[in-house]
Chain A
């Protein structure tokens, strides 16, 4: 049934958007910065994941096992890089007007994409032995294992984040810092560590998204972060800047809307513009976004 298939495809794509957008909204919630360069970490995560998987494939028996190790390693490395970007780029300009961080981030992103092209080549790279390529029957449609993993991955990772935020001391500290940094500091919370954690988690999630996208399309290329970067920005606005749950819902909703939109609105708008048409319509009706932000 076409509708069901479209919905599922939309949820798969939405899961990827969610993994990217959550990191973006985490940074915005904490620092009011639109971290455009985040999408560069998504691409980098994809590259690392593919490279490491390909390296390990000769060594380990199962491609799935290699992938698992690769994605975890990639998440850790990119997570750390996220912290480095915060330290070197954003921390020094926190006191400047918001457009400074925005444009610095855009410049950084452009430079990153170019570096990917120069270092890894313009044609992109692929898994030599793609893991999880077989299909699975699910209700009215068949899905690749990779697609199932993408959705599960998003649920586990973002769900895990939600648990972390609400059930652990670390999570409480983080939420306090987002709400009122000065008060949090006076309670003894080290807001610098909270920021590091924030960037680490967000960047790690983006890296996971990169690895998963590589599984889905078996290609990682230098500009693959461009379109998701713009869409993620639209998503976090829709979800309510800084609101993780809202961002997740907005991301999934966008995935599904794009799925249907390409079929039914294809004559009027191209696929990428659908996200923004959706955004603008929503903002005109509800200027604060789909969900009220904190």
Chain B
């Protein structure tokens, strides 16, 4: 039971992270290879605050806010560079974040931050909190999709230049996407820090960024249900497949490659294809 709760928290956390990246990369079409950095900003901020005695809820909110602010700064920087450069620039931001954190003692340096205070919710309570946040983020994502903001995002992801010709301020929208996505990632970071009670630079590196992006891409970029399923499954896959732990990275790499090569729209595309085939067979 204890183990199931731990897995549940892990799944919930991954769903929040993946949905947050989906706002940036899925809805708005901005491929970010450094999303883990914002996860980290939220985690470190919240952890340092609760260690300094600030209440959990405020620390979480602060982590969210700081991650969002950093997100806007990175977003502003990314507006200056060409589209092709965005992936590499965001990757660079991720490395820069880690590079700085590793060298600063007050951020725990290589060793990280220990003994993060318990928020006092108990394991089950924490699971409920995480799942509630995940559900809220999912509902928010779906709402965004149907709003006029989502409508504009669709246009921007489709063809930025033409979106401008419809009067859409593409830069402002991209920044908004970055702010929302990074803030939510920061929230996930704060939740993570107070669950595991220890954070170190290794949890927020390039591998983690790729891992989050994979969940979005395998789920189907832009598809909320797809991303949720992919995030939930991929986050616990290594645990379930302990017996093939030796091969887990190989399978993961192979899976990424295979999905992109044969079904780039991810699970969502596969599901759509299957539904259409079934519908055709029914009418035949």
CB within 8 A of A233: which of B82, B88, B100, B257? B88
How far, in Å, is A117 (CB) from chain B's closest CB? 8
CB within 8 A of A267: which of B88, B103, B210, B213? B103
CB within 8 A of A110: which of B89, B100, B246, B252? B252
- Which residues of B231-277 are within 8 A (CB) of A? 246-247, 249-250, 252-261, 264
Instruction: Decide yes or no whether B217 CB sits under 8 A from chain A.
Output: yes
Chain A: which residue is nearest B92 at the CB level? A276
What are the interface flags for A107-120 relative to B under an 8 Å C-beta threshold, 1 for contact and 0 otherwise? 11111111100100
How many A-B residue pairs lie within 8 Å, measured between CB atoms?
Answer: 136
Complex contact B250–A115 (CB within 8 A): yes
How far, in Å, is B214 (CB) from chain A's closest CB? 7
Summarize A's interface: helix, strand, loop or mixed. Answer: helix
Q: Which residues of B contact A230 (CB under 8 A)?
A: 91, 95, 206
Chain B: which residue is nearest A271 at the CB level? B99
How far, in Å, is B153 (CB) from chain A's closest CB? 15
Complex contact B91–A103 (CB within 8 A): no
Q: Which residues of A contact B89 (CB under 8 A)?
A: 237, 279-280, 283
Instruction: Decide yes or no whether B84 CB sits under 8 A from chain A.
Output: yes
Instruction: Decide yes or no whether A100 CB sits under 8 A from chain B.
Output: yes
Q: Which residues of A contact B256 (CB under 8 A)?
A: 103-104, 106-107, 110
How far, in Å, is B60 (CB) from chain A's closest CB? 28
Of the listed residues B25, B84, B88, B96, the one surrounded by the most CB atoms of chain A closer than 10 A to its CB is B88
CB within 8 A of A269: which of B99, B213, B252? B99
A103 and B210 alpha carbons, distance in the complex (Å): 9
Complex contact A237–B85 (CB within 8 A): yes
- Chain B: residues with Cβ within 8 Å of the partner, total of 42
Chain B: which residue is nearest A226 at the CB level? B206
Complex contact A98–B257 (CB within 8 A): no
- Which residues of A160-208 are within 8 A (CB) of B? none
CB within 8 A of B84: which of A107, A241, A268, A269? A241
Complex contact B80–A111 (CB within 8 A): no
Complex contact B254–A93 (CB within 8 A): no
Instruction: Decide yes or no whether A69 CB sits under 8 A from chain B.
Output: no
Q: Which residues of A contact B99 (CB under 8 A)?
A: 269-270, 272-274, 276-277
Complex contact B264–A96 (CB within 8 A): yes
Instruction: Decide yes or no whether B31 CB sits under 8 A from chain A.
Output: yes
Complex contact A111–B82 (CB within 8 A): no
Instruction: Decide yes or no whether B87 CB sits under 8 A from chain A.
Output: yes
What are the interface flags for B88-108 relative to A under an 8 Å C-beta threshold, 1 for contact and 0 otherwise? 110111011011101100000
Complex contact A284–B80 (CB within 8 A): yes
Complex contact B84–A98 (CB within 8 A): yes
A29 and B253 alpha carbons, distance in the complex (Å): 26
CB within 8 A of A273: which of B77, B96, B258, B264? B96
Instruction: Decide yes or no whether B284 CB sits under 8 A from chain A.
Output: no
With A99-B217, A277-B96, A287-B81 in contact, is A234–B252 under 8 Å at CB? no
Complex contact B260–A93 (CB within 8 A): yes
Instruction: Decide yes or no whether A92 CB sits under 8 A from chain B.
Output: yes
Instruction: Decide yes or no whether A32 CB sits under 8 A from chain B.
Output: yes
What are the interface flags for A84-105 relative to B under an 8 Å C-beta threshold, 1 for contact and 0 otherwise? 0000010011001111111110
How far, in Å, is A115 (CB) from chain B's closest CB? 7
Of the listed residues B31, B213, B246, B256, the one surrounded by the most CB atoms of chain A closer than 10 A to its CB is B256
Q: Which residues of B contact A100 (CB under 8 A)?
A: 260, 264
How far, in Å, is A224 (CB) from chain B's closest CB? 16
Complex contact A287–B82 (CB within 8 A): yes
CB within 8 A of B98: which of A103, A106, A273? A273
Instruction: Decide yes or no whether A34 CB sits under 8 A from chain B.
Output: yes
Complex contact A114–B250 (CB within 8 A): yes
Q: A108-B253, A283-B80 are known contacts; what are 11 more A-B pairs with Cβ within 8 Å? A: A34-B87, A92-B261, A96-B264, A102-B87, A103-B214, A106-B256, A110-B256, A118-B250, A276-B92, A277-B99, A283-B81
Question: What are the 4 tightest A-B residue pairs by CB atom distance, in nearest-first order?
Answer: A273-B99, A107-B256, A110-B253, A111-B253
Binding site for B on A (CB under 8 A): 32, 34, 89, 92-93, 96-104, 106-115, 118, 230, 233-234, 237, 241, 266-270, 272-277, 279-280, 283-284, 287-289
Binding site for A on B (CB under 8 A): 25, 31, 77, 80-82, 84-85, 87-89, 91-93, 95-96, 98-100, 102-103, 206, 210, 213-214, 217, 221, 246-247, 249-250, 252-261, 264
Question: Could you name 20 residue pairs across A and B whose Cβ atoms are closer than 8 Å?
Answer: A34-B84, A34-B87, A92-B261, A93-B260, A99-B217, A103-B213, A106-B253, A107-B257, A114-B253, A115-B250, A118-B247, A230-B91, A233-B88, A234-B88, A234-B92, A237-B85, A269-B103, A270-B99, A274-B99, A277-B96
